Structure 1
């Protein structure tokens, strides 16, 4: 690629005007060691320049810089990598290293930054750096070496097929209340994450080794079959091992039980202090395993699996569920806080199904079946005796 073409791609990259095809071209150009080294050297600029340059009018500075770069096509064509490196450094100074990092995730060696907005889906990298995920856009995902390992598109991340990793490096996706997310891992396993959930997983699995992930909250897993590499999900102190199957796992920290519903295949259960063997408890399709966190005891029962997997299609289904448990599910799904001062209502059980209804419409439906009053103020809801 000619220098001018590379330079224009970088300008578009920094100004959020780059297309998906152009981003791929830029990624290809960065395979050139000189180009990659130039960017890496700029990233090493002290992170505190963000704070120093906050005194400047960033929009004005950005437009002025772009104008200077583009004012003379002949000049642009004659720029050396060194000269363009100075422009890149200026862009970093004007925009701030945080701007460069957060919006494009090119390199993972910047300072750790806490995410204050808990309403956003976040991706935590192996070094502790946290990135917010924009569901309205797409972006490449890179490892700490600067290699492209996946692509984020809307509310999902698709990782490239792996198997050549020499070490396990973990990322963690966290999904706030009111949202859902999908991960396609490097082995092809598909994980749907429900509201208020997080999954810690290897960026790339090692061939012949156990594929181990850690779940907090609720997820539906369609596990890629690999008899040489068992897939293990750890939730609290319970391990669920599979070779290839489809199942739903609910393990919210505030819930007393961990529930596993098997749709297809077979899974086995064992605690952290033990090992998986032929005597490990097994679950068969169409059944649910309920593991008590306090007693460390497991029970099995036959269920309608659709009742436990409908959330992936945006449905909220309650089957003979006490209202106090319904409240918690509504809080997760709608990202609201519900204060129920009508204690008599807590143990009343309901059968109901919702999909496109608002939280007000849902509560209105309950109030028609059982007398109660509710008030909605923003994201706070109060339920009282009529």
Structure 2
């Protein structure tokens, strides 16, 4: 635990300085590596944890003076792709510059992590399982069903004066043609299966990114409606175009989300007992069937059931990692992690010991790797063993 008298790396705490002399700070690479090994094993003493925290924050605070915004963005992406398991955040919010500076040492730091996390990994399989990919099924108002993977880039259809197209990166777009009012408002649906993800640009310019096993129903034009209403299930990230005269309303099985122009994520998968709505930008209002409503500020997440709505502060980076191509786990249970993997890899977890479901993990890894690589990284923590049998993942104690 970080000493309560020290809030940033630049504040020296005389209350705990006598303990830090045990580690002769600043520590060398070998000493840091040993503390990281103990951190991963869960054997750090409070004093050792304090020393590791101070080293991490002190290094970051002394190394961030000359990073441009562009360099920070590049560094953050580099860190995510390099570190197999992320260091647990010790503050309420991850400092972007600390994250970026850590990325600049990714080669050295990740080498240390791999050396000390590299416990024997023996994920067994005869046939590996590939990750999901871009794809979805578009159903038009006339009942025509279109598999996006089967069509070429360009015009997909014209429906009541609205042109529907597919871009080079697989996005579906809607555009009202010249001399057309697009006021029919016929309903379309876009649905991703397990192992698919998609994105659509709605006729008002709003963007919706669909994760695997998700469903979006929307009109081909909002022109005749007072509110821009869509129906949704699964997980999606919304970037809503600003239009004060026409609020944007997302309806799920248990809640309504009303916004004017904002960015937010909705997770309404059936395997979760709650619907989670996370706000990144703007303001949204969440309401359930019981008439309970809450207003979210950026960085807040609403957890909603048909009887209650609670709000808490969260690390949004973990919530939207899926849209950026990553799995990120922040003290998540193995049961929740395997549910995410099942949605993306179309697998079924089988637990030989039900208690393993409660095992927690911290980590970050690409979602475009074969599942064997993801499981090997998790197995190196020493918390579980994985075996791939067809589409089943057999999970046992390590």
Task: Give the corresponding residue for 1:352.
Answer: 363
Task: Give the corresponding residue for 2:279.
Answer: 262
Give how far 1:120 is off.
5.5
CA RMSD, Structure 1 to Structure 2 (Å): 2.5
1:283 aligns to 2:296 (yes or no)? yes
Give how far 1:224 is off.
0.3
TM-score scaled by length of structure 2 = 0.61
Task: Give the corresponding residue for 2:389.
Answer: 377
CA radius of gyration, larger in: 1
Task: Give the corresponding residue for 2:227.
Answer: 210
Q: Moved runs in structure 1, 4+ residues, more than 4 A?
A: 143-147
Specify every segment of 5 or more residues in structure 1 that has no aligned partner in the other structure, as ranges.
Answer: 1-118
CA contact (8 A) 1:287 1:301 kept: yes
CA contact (8 A) 2:229 2:251 kept: yes
Find 2:207's aligned residue among 165, 179, 190. Answer: 190
Give how far 1:161 is off.
4.6
Find 2:310's aligned residue among 268, 274, 299. Answer: 299
Distance in structure 1 (CA, Å) of the matches to 2:394 and 2:170:
31
Give how far 1:268 is off.
0.3
Distance in structure 2 (CA, Å) of the matches to 1:378 and 1:266:
45
182 and 188 in structure 1: CA distance in 2 versus 1, 3 angstrom threshold: same
1:316 aligns to 2:333 (yes or no)? no
Give CA-to-partner distance per residue, 1:16-69, whole Å, 9 cap, x none: xxxxxxxxxxxxxxxxxxxxxxxxxxxxxxxxxxxxxxxxxxxxxxxxxxxxxx
SS of 1:259's equivalent in the other structure is: strand
1:58-73 matches, cutoff 5 A: none
Specify every segment of 5 or more residues in structure 2 that has no aligned partner in the other structure, as ranges.
Answer: 1-133
1:121 aligns to 2:136 (yes or no)? yes
1:252 aligns to 2:278 (yes or no)? no
1:103-142 matches, cutoff 5 A: 121-134=136-149, 137-142=152-157
300 and 273 in structure 1: CA distance in 2 versus 1, 3 angstrom threshold: closer
153 and 179 in structure 1: CA distance in 2 versus 1, 3 angstrom threshold: same
Give how far 1:176 is off.
1.7
1:232 aligns to 2:238 (yes or no)? no
Distance in structure 1 (CA, Å) of the matches to 2:389 and 2:154:
36
Give how far 1:145 is off.
4.9
184 and 120 in structure 1: CA distance in 2 versus 1, 3 angstrom threshold: closer
Give CA-to-partner distance per residue, 1:295-318, whole Å, 9 cap, x none: x21111111111111111110011
167 and 337 in structure 1: CA distance in 2 versus 1, 3 angstrom threshold: same
TM-score scaled by length of structure 1 = 0.63
Distance in structure 2 (CA, Å) of the matches to 1:302 and 1:362:
28
SS of 1:328's equivalent in the other structure is: helix
SS of 1:176's equivalent in the other structure is: coil
CA contact (8 A) 1:136 1:154 kept: no
Give CA-to-partner distance per residue, 1:241-268, whole Å, 9 cap, x none: 0000011111112321111111000000
Give how far 1:170 is off.
1.0
Distance in structure 2 (CA, Å) of the matches to 1:211 and 1:331:
33
Residue-pair matches, total: 263
SS of 2:234's equivalent in the other structure is: strand
Give how far 1:184 is off.
0.4
Task: Give the corresponding residue for 1:367.
Answer: 379
